[in-house]
């Protein structure tokens, strides 16, 4: 699957989870959302963004900052869930949903068309395979392993990774 198609599929899954949380903020649904988001951000930051930074640097820099804000809000949402504070959970779900919605709209309308236009189909396919494999590893590890422990740190604060080696010609 092309890298951009994989990310769009994951975006739809996250939208479904937000819809489910709006009707019933079950802990299992929130945990699934946290795992999906953390794994998704991981593959973007480790594989996708480094690959496209050369020709989409400004968009990537903004995306990394959006990830940092989303991670912070996700951590705050999980804390509210642990305290069984339904009103705060609802408010934080709404806020996180809006942050993610904005991020997704920018990626799908600005970044992905640029990526699809610039990279060869074979490259997008190989990158997609690498991302799919890493996503499953990250999702299984879970959000607790993926999100920085400090409330003031975000994964966007880490040194940018080098692009993965892609063998497509």
- Kindly state whether residue 78 falls inside one of the protein's structural domains: yes
Q: 59 lies in which domain range?
A: 3-145
Averaged pLDDT, 74-87: 92
Distance (Å, rounded) from C-alpha 18 to C-alpha 38?
15
Q: pLDDT tens across 108-146, in order?
A: 999 999 999 999 999 999 999 999 999 999 999 999 999
Model confidence band, residue 25 (pLDDT cutoffs 50, 70, 90): confident
- Kindly state whether residue 67 falls inside one of the protein's structural domains: yes
Concatenating the DSSP letter of every residue in the chain gives --HHHHHHHHHHHHHHHHHHHHH---HHHHHHHHHHHHHHHHHIIIIIHHHHHHHHHHHHHHHHHHHHHHHHHHHHHHHHHHTT-HHHHHHHHHHHHHHHHHHHHHIIIIIHHHHHHHS-HHHHHHHHHHHHHHHHHHHHH-HHHHS-SSTT--GGGSPPPPPPP----
- Kindly state whether residue 133 falls inside one of the protein's structural domains: yes
Number of domains within the chain: 1
Q: Is the full-model pTM beyond 0.85?
A: yes
- Kindly state whether residue 155 falls inside one of the protein's structural domains: no
- Kindly state whether residue 82 falls inside one of the protein's structural domains: yes
Averaged pLDDT, 79-94: 92
Q: What is the CATH number of the domain that holds 7?
A: 1.20.120.520
- Kindly state whether residue 49 falls inside one of the protein's structural domains: yes
- Kindly state whether residue 161 falls inside one of the protein's structural domains: no
Nearest to 53 by CA among 41, 65, 66, 44: 44
Contact call for residues 168 and 125 (beta carbons, < 8 A):
yes
Residue 169 has pLDDT above 60, yes or no: no
């Amino acid at each position: 699957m092309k890298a951009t198609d994989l990310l769009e599929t994951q975006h739809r899954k996250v939208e479904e989870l937000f819809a489910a949380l709006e009707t019933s903020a079950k802990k299992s649904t929130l945990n699934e959302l946290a795992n999906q988001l953390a794994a998704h951000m991981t593959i973007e930051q480790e594989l996708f963004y480094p690959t496209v930074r050369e020709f989409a640097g400004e968009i990537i820099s903004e995306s990394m900052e959006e990830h940092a804000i989303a991670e912070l809000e996700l951590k705050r949402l999980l804390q509210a869930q642990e305290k069984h504070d339904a009103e705060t959970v609802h408010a934080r779900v709404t806020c996180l949903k809006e942050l993610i919605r904005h991020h997704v709209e920018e990626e799908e309308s600005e970044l992905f068309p640029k990526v699809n236009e610039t990279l060869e189909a074979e490259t997008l396919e190989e990158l997609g395979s690498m991302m799919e494999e890493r996503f499953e590893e990250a999702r299984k590890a879970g959000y607790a392993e993926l999100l920085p422990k400090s409330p003031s740190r975000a994964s966007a604060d880490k040194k940018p990774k080098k692009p993965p080696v892609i063998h497509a010609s």
